[in-house]
Amino acid sequence: MPSFDPFNPPDLPTRYEAMAHFRQICPVAKVADSRWYAASYGGVMTGLKEVETFVGSFVDTSVLPEDEIPVSAIPEPRHGKIRRVINGVLAPHRTMHTDQFIFELANALLDEAEQSHQDTASFDLVQQYVDPIPSTVIAHVLGVPTEDFQKFRQWSDELLENQNAQLDGQPLTLTQTHPEFAAYIQHHIEIRRHAKDPQNDLITRFIRAEIEGEPLSDDMIRTQTINLIIAGNETTRNWLGNYFAALVDDAELYERIRSQPAMREKFLEESLRRDCPVQIVARAAMEDTVLDGQPIPQGDQVVFGIASANRDETIFENPAELIPDRSNLKKHLAFGAGPHICPGASLARLEARIALDVFCKRVSFVSVQAGYEFQYNPVFWALGLRSLPVNLKFAPKASQKR
Ligand code: HEM
């Protein structure tokens, strides 16, 4: 059995080789004391859906104050009540002209590149195009100044780094983990609590929401808002970076995607499957149970390998290949499954599609810079690029019409 620490996974491709080995030999493997790794599609799907048996997240948050536990770690039935509020505050992004906002943002980012480089440009596709999109969009949806997006990016990174350090220690609330971030959100809660002319932004919708007739406390609004920012930021930028990495590496594929807009949605879903932005989620077993034939004692942690499930060869033929014409394209588990399934999926899909549409319209040719070796962000649960230096050629102005 290869040694495999899902909290400190090996680089690619060794990581995927280890997952394939687990799927074949031992789909639920003991990877540390009281810690298991579930590798098969069936095991991961079952575990994600059985929310009474498998609860929690990477650290034991049950010791934290109830109002400061992020939604992903809250047990039922409380989770369901808070989750309804979160669905309710996120869904109206559709009425906030978010599509137009993303469209203008993506064009503005490419304008900058085009103005500074004219014809063939040298450009960091991840740092200069991909990274600003999710953090600016979440600032728009939250109703805070979009110029603050750089703070969100930096704070999300810092918060994740600080959370990594808590894996083997005492869990902290998000406010304790990043007081500056928390103070910023608290300030915006207070502005909205006293606003004479309330807007329809996400924080205002949290303030107006009720659970069983009771309004939400500031602690809960702050915790869930910070959690939404991190959950939406790291993941979406990883997705965008991963799909662009596939395109810049394969001129034929880029030309196909560029000339056939109808292919794009399928390509995006297939990229989510193969290069899964969230590689794992973790839960604790609430009782003695059996997963994929393996007995799991109460209290043990199970790490559900979403990335491995998405490459399960019994479900997806030739799983390492990007095949946008797959018949079962949408079976991937990149957004999870069951009651915790990602509430931000429609926003993420909107960002991914518009970022790709705008890029295809404006850029006629793109290739990765010679000698670049893919480097990934140091976030153990994610797969995403730190940078992606490319050469790009803009389409003639007439064919870039918006
Ligand atoms: C490509 C982008 C994204 C990916 C791959 C992704 C993936 C996931 C996954 C795998 C889960 C866990 C599901 C489970 O436990 O079954 C999740 C949960 C969650 N995601 Fe996303 N996500 C993305 C974007 C977003 C966005 C844009 C937001 C919000 C703005 C968001 C907010 C959340 C929240 C709040 C949860 C916890 C839900 C719960 O526990 O009930 N995500 N996401």
CA-nearest residue for atom 18, ligand 1, is 342
Whether the predicted pLDDT of 168 surpasses 80: no
Residue 114 and residue 93: Cα distance in Å, rounded?
30
pLDDT of residue 60: 80
Spell out the alpha helix ranges (H) of 275-344. Answer: 306-309
In a domain, 5, yes or no: no
CA-nearest residue for atom 27, ligand 1, is 232
> Among 348, 331, 364, 81, which Cα is nearest to 220's?
81
In a domain, 1, yes or no: no
Whether the predicted pLDDT of 152 surpasses 80: yes
Residue 264 and residue 67: Cα distance in Å, rounded?
41
Atom index in ligand 1 nearest the CA of residue 348 equals 27
Ligand 1 centroid – CA 100 distance (Å):
23
Q: Which residue has the tokens 């899964």?
A: 276
Whether the predicted pLDDT of 209 surpasses 90: yes
How confident is the model over 331-356, as a mean pLDDT? Answer: 97
Tell me the pLDDT tens digit for each residue of 17-75.
999 999 999 999 999 999 999 999 999 999 999 999 999 877 788 889 999 999 999 99
pLDDT of residue 226: 94
Choose one of 82, 149, 335 to mutate for the ligand 1 pocket test, by most ligand atoms within 8 angstroms of C-beta: 335
The 3 state secondary structure assigned to 57-117 is CCCCHHHCCHHHCCHHHCCCCHHHHHHHHHHHHHHHHHHCCHHHHHHHHHHHHHHHHHHHH
Q: Are 224 and 70 contacting, i.e. CB atoms less than 8 angstroms apart?
A: yes
CA-nearest residue for atom 16, ligand 1, is 336
Ligand 1 centroid – CA 391 distance (Å):
32
Whether the predicted pLDDT of 94 surpasses 90: no
In a domain, 271, yes or no: yes
Counting the structural domains of the chain, the total is 1
CA-nearest residue for atom 17, ligand 1, is 342
Tell me the pLDDT tens digit for each residue of 239-271.
999 999 999 999 999 999 999 999 999 999 999
In a domain, 296, yes or no: yes
Helix, strand or coil for residue 280? Answer: strand
In a domain, 2, yes or no: no
Choose the weakest-confidence range: 158-172, 242-256, 385-399. 158-172
In a domain, 7, yes or no: no
Choose the weakest-confidence range: 152-166, 267-281, 375-389. 152-166
In a domain, 168, yes or no: yes
In a domain, 4, yes or no: no
Q: How many alpha carbons lie under 13 Å from residue 263 in its C-beta half-sphere? A: 15
CATH code for the domain in which residue 112 is found: 1.10.630.10
Residue 75 and residue 62: Cα distance in Å, rounded?
9
pLDDT of residue 117: 66
Ligand 1 centroid – CA 278 distance (Å):
9
Atom index in ligand 1 nearest the CA of residue 233 equals 27
pLDDT of residue 95: 67
Question: Residue 287: which domain range?
Answer: 14-400
Ramachandran region, residue 301 (left: φ > 0; alpha: ψ -120 to 50; beta: rest): beta
CA-nearest residue for atom 21, ligand 1, is 342
Q: Residues lining ligand 1, judged by CB closer than 6 Å?
A: 48, 71-72, 83, 86, 138, 227-228, 231-232, 235-236, 239, 277-278, 281, 306, 334-338, 340-344, 347-348
Q: In this structure, are strands 389-394 and 363-368 parallel, antiparallel, or unpaired?
A: antiparallel
Residue 155 and residue 229: Cα distance in Å, rounded?
10
Q: Which residues contact 270 (CB under 8 A, 6 or more apart)?
A: 322, 323, 324, 326, 329
Q: Which residue has the higher pLDDT, 95 or 178?
A: 178
